[in-house]
């Protein structure tokens, strides 16, 4: 339950901050929610919240367009399939979110 609350809190606060802040605002959101809502699975909560947030938004953009730019970017970054691009993106955001949530939780005794 604690995990779920933390997950949702990170997801929403990160979304909110992202609307007017640079990409690393995900770390700020995860850090604060790691601190305030410390659980046993801080890293997992931060990781999965940001990964979910990013995948969801990227999918939304991709589905609403007839453009194949995401495939071209996959080729550019030398990952063969678009799905790998999504996984890589989720891992990048997730890692930052997870570590930030963990750091926030560690600040609290």
Partner 1 sequence: MHVFKFIISFCVTLALIYFLDNRWVIKGNPIPPLGKFMDPFNGFWRNIEPSNAKGPELLTLPQLQDNVTVSFDSLMVPHVFANNDLDLYYAQGYITAKYRLWQMEFQTHAAAGRVSEIIGAGRNDALLNYDRGQRRLGMVYAAKRSVAALSENQESLIMIEKYTEGINSYIKSLTYKTLPFEYKLLDYTPEPWTTLKSALLLKYMAQTLNIGDKDMEMTNALKLYGPQIVDLLYPDREDVGSPIVDNNGGWKFKINLPDSLPMAVPQELIAVKRLSEHDPNIGSNNWAVSGNKTASGSPILCGDPHLNLNLPSLWYIIQLNAPGVNTMGASLPGTPSIVIGCNDSIAWSLTNAQRDLVDWCKITYQDGSRSKYLLDNQWIDTQKVVEIFNVRDRDPFADTVLYTYWGPVTYDRNYMPDNNHSEYAFRWISHDPSSDATAFYKINRALNYKDFNDALDYFAAPAQNFVYASTSGDIAMRIQGKYPIRRPLEGKFVIDGTKKGNGWNAFIPNEQNIQEKNPARGFVSSANQYPVDATYPYYITATSFEAYRNRRINHQLADMNQITPRDMMTLQNDNFNLKADESLPYLLQQLDSTTLNPEEKRAYSALKEWDRINDKDSEGASYYEAWWENLMPMVWDEMENSKAILKRPTAFTTIKLLKERPTLSFFDIQGTLEIETAREVIRKAFSLSVEDIEEWSADHNGAPAYWGDYKDSYMQHLARIEPLGIHVRAGGNANAVNAHSKLKGPSWRMVVSLEKTGVKMWGVYPGGQSGNAGSEYYANMLDPWVNGEYFQMQFFQYPEDALKHTFFTTQLNKQK
Nearest distance in Å: CB 1, partner 1? 24
**Whether 98 contacts 52, CB under 8 Å:** no
Nearest distance in Å: CB 82, partner 1? 12
Kindly tell me which of 1 and 24 has the beta carbon lying closer to partner 1.
Answer: 24
Nearest distance in Å: CB 62, partner 1? 7
Nearest distance in Å: CB 88, partner 1? 7
DSSP-based three-state secondary structure for 68: coil
Closest CA to 29 of 42, 10, 49: 10
User: How far, in Å, CA of 19 to CA of 23, rounded?
Assistant: 9
Side-chain half-sphere CA neighbours of 40 within 13 A: 1
User: How far, in Å, CA of 57 to CA of 87, rounded?
Assistant: 14
Kindly tell me which of 5 and 106 has the beta carbon lying closer to partner 1.
Answer: 106
User: Which residues would be at the binding site for partner 1 (CB under 8 A)?
Assistant: 18-19, 22-24, 27, 31, 54, 57-58, 61-62, 64-67, 69-70, 72-73, 75-76, 88-89, 92-93, 95-96, 99-100, 102-103, 106-107, 109
């Amino acid at each position: 339950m604690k995990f779920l609350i933390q997950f949702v809190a990170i997801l929403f606060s990160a979304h909110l901050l992202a609307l007017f802040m640079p990409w690393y605002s995900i770390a700020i959101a995860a850090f604060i929610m790691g601190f305030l809502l410390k659980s046993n699975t801080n890293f997992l909560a931060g990781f999965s919240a940001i990964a979910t947030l990013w995948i969801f938004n990227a999918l939304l953009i991709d589905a609403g367009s007839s453009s194949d730019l995401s495939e071209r970017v996959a080729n550019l970054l030398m990952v063969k399939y678009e799905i790998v691009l999504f996984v890589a993106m989720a891992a990048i955001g997730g890692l930052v979110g997870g570590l930030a949530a963990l750091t926030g939780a560690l600040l609290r005794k």
